[in-house]
A and B are shown apart, each in its own frame.
Chain A
Amino acid sequence: MIDIAIKKSIAGFELQAEFTVPATGVTAIFGRSGAGKTSLVNSIAGLVRPDAGHIRIDDRVFFDHEAGINLPIEARGVGYVFQDSRLFPHLSVRGNLTYGRRRTRRPLRITDDAVIEVLGLAALLARKPHHLSGGERQRVALGRALLAQPRLLLLDEPLASLDAPRKAEVLPYIERLVEEFKLPALYVSHAIDELTRLADHVVIINDGLTVACGSLTEIMSKPEYAPLIGRFEAGAVLECTVHAHDPSFQMTNLAFADGYLQVPLIDLPPGTPIRARLRARDVAISLSNPNELSITNRLFGTVQSMTVREATYVDVAIALGHTTVRALITRESASRLKLAAGVKVWALIKAVALDSRAVGFNRRIRADDISVT
């Protein structure tokens, strides 16, 4: 368990963070810039000393104000990857990678070879940091943190300082290392697509306050968090598996707990777990199952709740059975259809909206992903 309850005021800013999440998988710390994400992570790493409260990781107490415990940074065993890679300029890539490993007293569970392999660093070992690209630097920083054999990985917007192509280059490496080394990780981000691909759990932080905490699918299915996530990006996340491919039309069929989704071809073998993020604004509502319509994805369900958004829109949560999807429609449409909780509807999603950019394809193969509904 990652158990955190802290208070800290920094130059007029009040951070009040309180949450518990399992110490397995990836927990995303999500919020706007200036929300207090970095202060929270710095407190966990020991860079910032909270004014009150406690920080516990499993049976390890990092900080306890009452008990007067404040473990020094080097005794906490957290692998911290910063936005700027912070490689040591006087050491080679190899020297950087092994810096933490040479100092740890924990068993060497993660080997140099495994890290070099997973992060693709073999060709870079002899180089100095200033001869690396931004993406390469960040990969080395990830490897260095891993080799220190941390109990917990802290990733503070590790992609934020990279341009889009570099982001796309590094993200799969993060996915691979999370899968490969099975380390609990806190991933700070304000990018919803990174969150969809990586996170198992989400903690939302707003103006220094932790306002929500839960599994990714749970948080994403709730309309009340949409303002924090962003009107255009908010939407339900469905845990799916690749069901079948249709090579003639270049389409893929995804299976999830309440049915199937047709999406543009995904080049992964059947059975591969995948996450599909259905942005609420890409979902339409019909009271009947329309016949002469191009949209193939039609999910039957019951209106669960309706949340008015910015006076013009309504965020409609539709319960399908095990899962919930959301549709963002205008208030005018909702009134015309006489939508209310309990009304039976069809949620319509264009397959085109589920392209690889709008959908966070989670390529991790993990047993616990499949069981989540």
Chain B
Amino acid sequence: MMSTPIEIEALRLSLQVASLSTLLSLPFAMAIAWLLSRRQFPGKLILDALVHAPLVLPPVVIGYLLLITLGTRAPLGHWLKETLGIQLIFTTGGAVLAAAVMSFPLMVRAIRLALDAVDRGLEVTARTLGATRLDVFLTVTVPLMLPGIFSGCLLAFAAGLGEFGATMIFASNIAGETRTLPLAIYTATQTPDGDLAALRLVGLAMLLALVALLLAAWIEGRMLGWLGRR
């Protein structure tokens, strides 16, 4: 399969957007998962629903909501641009944010399940051995959650690679800036004689998925073996 600069560009951008959005989501997803799994507080149900909203709402709606809150004419977006010099619409940053929001519920779910499965007895044991709560979290809870954190990241990464609707509305379709693989495929299909280009991009996307899945299965196997769960 021959690759032209357009395809390489789309691939690079997709990998960049998906990995940045995953990294950006991770600390927040950990915090939200911890709140949902371990804490009881008023409004927990609302938080849970809010986190899951991107899963049930059409991506276009999420894109639109991002646009009306973070667009340059919206107060928050305006403030971001004026004081911090950050513009999200029409930029890779916007694509990252759209992908992060869309994949957030998937990541939270995986991490929350992993946290639910952590044996509280082990955490208590660590405390009897002199570890503070934070120490226990870092040296017992997180290591035991690693397979879950990893699969959460993988899901978020995959969702980031495939994100289309929200990115299209919020970050727009700009070559080299926000045109990731799915947007490039869409663009190709809208171009006269673009069928071959679209097919090549589709092939690339499928190859990427295959490599990612194999790699993920291997890493997950190693982790489970390390924890003695296999």
Chain A positions near chain B (C-beta within 8 angstroms):
45-47, 72-74, 76-80, 82, 84, 86, 88-90, 99-100, 103-105, 128-131, 144-145, 148
A86 to B139, CA, bound (A): 15
Contact A77 B130 (CB under 8 A): yes
Of the candidates B122, B130, B143, the one whose C-beta lies within 8 Å of that of A103 is B130
Whole-angstrom distance from the CB of A232 to the nearest CB of chain B? 34
Q: Which residues of B contact A145 (CB under 8 A)?
A: 128-129
User: Could you say which residues of chain B place their CB within 8 Å of the CB of A100?
Assistant: 128-130
- CB proximity to A under 8 Å, residues B135-159: 135, 139-140, 143-144, 146
| A130:B228 contact, CB within 8 angstroms | yes
Shortest B31–chain A CB gap in Å is 22
> Beyond the given A82-B121, A100-B129, A129-B228, could you list 7 further A-B residue pairs with CB under 8 A, ordered by the A residue number?
A45-B128, A46-B128, A47-B128, A88-B125, A148-B128, A148-B129, A148-B130
Residues of A within 8 A of B69 (CB): none
By the criterion CB–CB under 8 Å, are B121 and A74 in contact? no
Q: Identify which of B128, B132, B135, B143 contacts A90 (C-beta below 8 A).
A: B143
Q: How far is the CA of A368 from the CA of B228 in the complex (A)?
A: 45
Question: Closest CB of chain B to A126's CB: distance in Å?
Answer: 14
Assembly CA distance A89 to B224 (angstroms): 10
Interface residues contributed by chain B, number (CB under 8 Å): 22
Q: Which residues of B contact A148 (CB under 8 A)?
A: 128-130
A103 and B129: CB pair below 8 A? yes
**Is the beta-carbon distance between A86 and B125 smaller than 8 angstroms?**
yes
Task: Assess A80 versus B128: contact at CB under 8 Å? Given A88-B140, A89-B228, A90-B227.
Answer: yes
Q: Are B130 and A80 in contact (CB under 8 A)?
A: no
Residues of B within 8 A of A45 (CB): 128
Cβ < 8 Å to A, chain B residues 112-131: 119, 121-122, 124-131
Is A47 a contact of B124 with CB atoms below 8 Å? yes
Q: Are A73 and B127 in contact (CB under 8 A)?
A: yes
When chains A and B are docked, how far (Å) is the Cα of A90 from the Cα of B147?
A: 12
The residue in chain B whose Cβ has the minimal distance to the Cβ of A84 is B121
Q: Please, which residues of chain B bring their CB within 8 A of the CB of A104?
A: 130
Given contacts A90-B143, A90-B144, A90-B226, contact A73 B135 (CB under 8 A): no
Contacts A89-B228, A103-B135, A130-B228; is A78 near B128 (CB within 8 Å)?
yes
Within the complex, the shortest CB–CB distance from A148 to chain B, in Å, comes to 5
User: Could you list some 28 contacts between A and B, CB below 8 A?
Assistant: A45-B128, A47-B124, A73-B127, A73-B128, A74-B127, A74-B131, A80-B125, A80-B128, A82-B121, A82-B125, A84-B121, A86-B119, A86-B125, A89-B227, A89-B228, A89-B229, A90-B227, A99-B129, A99-B131, A99-B139, A100-B129, A103-B135, A104-B130, A105-B130, A130-B228, A131-B228, A144-B129, A148-B129
Q: Report yes or no: A73 in contact with B228, Cβ–Cβ below 8 A.
A: no
Q: Which residues of A contact B124 (CB under 8 A)?
A: 47, 73
Closest B residue, CB atoms, query A102: B130
B164-198 interface (Cβ within 8 A of A): none
Q: Which residues of A contact B122 (CB under 8 A)?
A: 86, 88
Minimum CB distance partner of B230 in chain A:
A130
Measured in the bound complex, the distance between the Cα atoms of B16 and A158 in whole Å is 53
Cβ of B128 and Cβ of A128 under 8 Å apart? no
Query: A90 vs B140: C-alpha distance in the bound complex, in angstroms?
Result: 8
| Given A86-B121, A90-B143, residue A103 in contact with residue B228 (CB < 8 A) | no
- On chain B, the residues within 8 Å of A46 by CB distance are 128
Look across to chain B and name the residue whose beta carbon is closest to the beta carbon of A78.
Answer: B128
CB < 8 Å neighbour of B131 from A47, A103, A144: A103
Smallest distance from the beta carbon of A87 to chain B beta carbons, Å?
8
Report A-chain residues with C-beta under 8 Å of the C-beta of B139: 99
Question: Inside 8 A of A77's CB, which chain B residues have their CB?
Answer: 130
Roughly how many angstroms separate A33 CA and B133 CA in the complex, as a whole number?
31
A155 to chain B, nearest CB (A): 12
User: Is the CB–CB distance between A74 and B128 below 8 Å?
Assistant: yes
Residue in B closest to A47 when the chains form the complex, CB atoms: B124
- Chain B residues with CB under 8 Å of A82's CB are 121, 125
Mark out the residues of chain B between 28 and 43 whose CB falls within 8 Å of any chain A CB in the assembled complex.
none
For residue A115, give the distance in angstroms from its CB to the closest CB of chain B: 14
Which chain B residue lies CB-closest to A132?
B228
Q: How far is the CB of A141 from chain B (nearest CB, A)?
A: 9
Residues of A within 8 A of B119 (CB): 86
- Determine how close the nearest CB of chain B comes to the CB of A255; give it in whole angstroms: 42
Separation of A311 and B52 alpha carbons in the complex (Å)? 68
Partner of B128, one of A79, A84, A89, A129: A79
Contacts of B227 in A (CB 8 A): 89-90
